[in-house]
Amino acid sequence: MPDKPSARLPERDRPWLIRTYAGHSDAKRSNELYRRNLEKGQTGLSVAFDLPTQTGYEPDHELARGEVGKVGVSIAHKGDMLTLLDGIPLDQMNTSMTINATAAWLLALYIVAAEEQAVAQESLQGTTQNDILKEYLSRGTYAFPPRPSMRLIADTILYTVRHVPKWNPINICSYHLQEAGATPVQEIAYALSNAIAVLDAVRDRVGRAPQDSEEELMDKVFGRISFFVNAGVRFIEEHAKLRAMALLWDEIGRERYGVQDDKHRRFRYGVQVNSLGLTEAQSENNVYRITLEALAVTLGRDARARAIQLPAWNEALGLPRPWDQQWSIRLQQILAYETDLLEYPDVFEGSKVMDGLVAELAEGAREEMQRVAELGGAVDAVDYMKAALVESHRERWRRIESGERVVVGMNRFTSTEPSPLTADADGGILLVDPQVEAEQIAAVGRWRAERDEAAVDAALQELASVAHDESADIMPATIAAARAGATTGEWAQTLRDVFGEYRAPTGVGEAAAVPSEEVAALREEVERVSEALGRRLKFLVGKPGLDGHSNGAEQIAVRARDAGMDVVYEGIRLTPSQIATSAAQEGVHVVGLSILSGSHRELIPAVLEALRDEGVEDVPVVVGGIIPDADADAMREAGVAAIYTPKDWNLNQMMRDIVALVGERHGIDTAAPA
């Protein structure tokens, strides 16, 4: 008989790292926010960067317009990084940076900032997200094509394993896959396939320039790979998903990479729980959702998160205020310190239900991973995975629209009292000072004027020549450029010149059509209006600016196609003038713009102006995204025909509106014939 497992742990577990994903405006304001959060009992930092920093553009670049300091902090050079970390002891802090395309650069800035604090890189702790494939699949902040991006990732991994041993050089993200609509099986399979692609890339580079015994090095590399996962409100299945990932990760370590040490094969993950399921309608209910989702990643000790950051209740409305973030930290603290959660061994041990769920998910994931492997691995399967995600997301929306999937307060139990939480003048969200962009542009100008230009030029030249040589390690030249005072935009531009640029697949072409009576009725209406127009109703769906969150735009493009429209969808990261040129040349009847990064106040008027310059100002413009009410009125006045926010989740209704709008502009009677 085996020993009866003790029902209690001899001593209470230490809690996970408690963080909030934070940062906005400039380094100084973000530093103040971090210090306040740390005083409140937060135990680690999680830095949110703005989109120009994430995609490697200067604050004064055309594409950065309206985005500086919006979804995170603008870090343009080492001076900004020093300010950001001022008074925070880097030998003790554990800092997670949500940074991908420019991860090598931000890591270099962090190392250089530590040098100035007299902290050796060996003692730094933290994480760079550094996962590019999910940027192609979901999040959109990529900068370079796949092959050179994988090289950058491999080089940062090898550099940190050798010189910054406590650093997590990559957080393989399943988080964003779920946000893009992944089922649990897809989330597991694509994240692990992605990890395999990364490990293979590292192994390949080790083979080129061996410095250590490869076996031992790959063991260490494997041990440094961590994950960043998502947890939705179906929290039992979500917990099973994490156990299945741990099981498969162990398998991959043993079988594919021959990792001997159990410790190196442990599945380590941090988590941000689901944003996709948060609602704008009755947004206070999100607090319950977040709580349940937090249970998904903490309940069973064998698959418990190492670090957690929870969203704030009002994410679907706009940027959370410091008070909203405090409320979110308190939830973690109650879970970690008030409840008895950390006093027991794994509470699911021996559970037939849990084991059954885990086996089912693992089996499904193995099959899907096999499919990806047959396509040549995750890098080559980006198109396939993207299309599969768009398809899953479409199915998810269909279920919500049909009511098969209940979302309380949104498609069921919708009657409500007015919310006192959003009654304040600020509408219950944080408003970024509109002066930040101009300040940051001026500041980076001063920085460029005051630095040693010759040193920067030499460092960037060296970076370019290293980039050209595929076998060379990109990190030392990157750190040297950071030290010399180069800017984020200069580092990225130097590499863009060598590596070229890239546009990720949109995945919309392959999505299946939705068979429904409602869509059939819509189609008839589109046919009728198209006939009256003389040619098929043509709709441009555009994503201006740097915001890469394209899931919503993709679903709208697919539904518009299903409704019978010709849809021009060009993917993310378009300038206002590109959108206007497309609208004119393509002869579209209506333009739809999607922005979730808060830059709508700058970008929407810019698109309207560009349309006027192209002489197509009579084409109506509709806007979708996270648009606070206060901004919506101003945009309507500027000429926007309609505004849709997350509470307008019924896509068919949106399509009906758009057809009616086009009809009205062309004097076509759109009331369906009796």
Copy the structure tokens of residue 472: 């060379």
Strand 170-173 vs strand 167-168: parallel, antiparallel, or unpaired?
Answer: unpaired
Whether the CB-CB separation of 611 and 580 falls below 8 Å is answered with yes
Tell me how far apart the alpha carbons of residues 182 and 646 are, in angstroms, rounded to a whole number.
19
Q: What are the distances in angstroms from CA 495 to CA 97, 105, 145, 208, 305?
A: 21, 11, 11, 21, 35
337 noted as active-site residue = no
Write the DSSP string, 12-26. Answer: PPPPPEEE-EE--SS
Q: By C-beta, is 88 or 532 nearer to other proteins?
A: 532
User: Which region among 107-115, 216-224, 225-233, 526-534 touches other proteins (by CB under 8 A)?
Assistant: 526-534
Q: Does 630 bind other proteins (CB under 8 A)?
A: no
Cβ at position 555, least distance to other proteins in Å = 12
Compute how many other C-beta atoms are within 10 angstroms of the C-beta atom of residue 122: 11
549 noted as active-site residue = yes
497 noted as active-site residue = no
Which member of 312, 466, 558, 658 binds other proteins (CB under 8 A)?
A: 558
Catalytic residue, candidates 159, 175, 384, 569: 175
Which member of 291, 333, 578, 652 binds other proteins (CB under 8 A)?
A: 578
Q: What are the distances in angstroms from CA 596 to CA 229, 426, 625?
A: 21, 18, 5
Looking only at Cα atoms, what is the longest distance across the chain? 84
Q: Does 565 bind other proteins (CB under 8 A)?
A: yes
Cβ at position 627, least distance to other proteins in Å = 24
How many helices (H) and strands (E) would you count in the chain? 24, 15
Q: Does 673 bind other proteins (CB under 8 A)?
A: no
**∠ Cα 227 148 223 (to 5°):** 30
Catalytic residue, candidates 61, 77, 176, 241: 176
Q: Does 591 bind other proteins (CB under 8 A)?
A: no
Nearest Cα to Cα of residue 245 among 203, 169, 182, 334:
182
Strand 45-48 vs strand 21-22: parallel, antiparallel, or unpaired?
Answer: parallel
Tell me how far apart the alpha carbons of residues 589 and 667 are, in angstroms, rounded to a whole number.
13
Which member of 667, 671, 673, 674 binds other proteins (CB under 8 A)?
A: 667
Tell me the β-bridge partners of 49.
Answer: 73
Which member of 112, 157, 477, 568 binds other proteins (CB under 8 A)?
A: 568
Which member of 560, 603, 642, 658 binds other proteins (CB under 8 A)?
A: 560
The DSSP call for residue 342 is: G
Task: For the segment 413-442, give every residue that binds other proteins (CB under 8 A).
Answer: none
Cβ at position 392, least distance to other proteins in Å = 18
Question: Of all helices (H) and strands (E), which one includes residue 479?
Answer: helix 474-484
Q: By C-beta, is 274 or 530 nearer to other proteins?
A: 530
Total residues interacting with other proteins, rule: CB under 8 A: 49
Amino acid, res. 202: V
| Site of tokens 């041993």 | 165
Tell me how far apart the alpha carbons of residues 218 and 203 are, in angstroms, rounded to a whole number.
7
Catalytic residue, candidates 549, 562, 589, 644: 549
Q: 94 CB contacts (<8 Å, ≥6 apart)?
A: 17, 43, 44, 45, 125, 126, 307
Interhelix angle for 600-613 vs 576-586, to 10°?
A: 40
Q: Does 657 bind other proteins (CB under 8 A)?
A: no
User: Which region among 160-168, 336-344, 420-428, 665-673 touches other proteins (by CB under 8 A)?
Assistant: 665-673
| Site of tokens 């092959």 | 147
Task: For the segment 376-395, give every residue that binds other proteins (CB under 8 A).
Answer: 383
Catalytic residue, candidates 21, 110, 159, 190: 21
Catalytic residue, candidates 24, 61, 78, 543: 543
Which member of 292, 421, 584, 632 binds other proteins (CB under 8 A)?
A: 584
Q: What are the distances in angstroms from CA 193 to CA 151, 174, 196, 197, 377?
A: 17, 11, 5, 6, 7
Q: Does 672 bind other proteins (CB under 8 A)?
A: no
Q: By C-beta, is 115 or 613 nearer to other proteins?
A: 613
Q: By C-beta, is 253 or 620 nearer to other proteins?
A: 620
Q: Does 620 bind other proteins (CB under 8 A)?
A: no
Cβ at position 557, least distance to other proteins in Å = 6
344 noted as active-site residue = no
Q: Does 495 bind other proteins (CB under 8 A)?
A: no
Q: Convert residues 148-177 into a mask of x (bound to other proteins by CB under 8 A) and - (unbound).
A: ------------------------------
Nearest Cα to Cα of residue 71 among 96, 57, 51:
51
Compute how many other C-beta atoms are within 10 angstroms of the C-beta atom of residue 661: 18
Q: Does 562 bind other proteins (CB under 8 A)?
A: yes
Q: Does 90 bind other proteins (CB under 8 A)?
A: no
21 noted as active-site residue = yes
| Site of tokens 């992605």 | 194
Q: Does 608 bind other proteins (CB under 8 A)?
A: no
Q: By C-beta, is 2 or 534 nearer to other proteins?
A: 534
Which member of 119, 458, 498, 521 binds other proteins (CB under 8 A)?
A: 498
Report the interface residues with other proteins, using CB under 8 A: 145, 383, 497-501, 503, 506, 508-509, 513, 519, 523, 526-527, 532-536, 557-558, 560-571, 574-575, 577-578, 580-582, 584-587, 666-668
Residues designated catalytic: 21, 175-176, 543, 547, 549
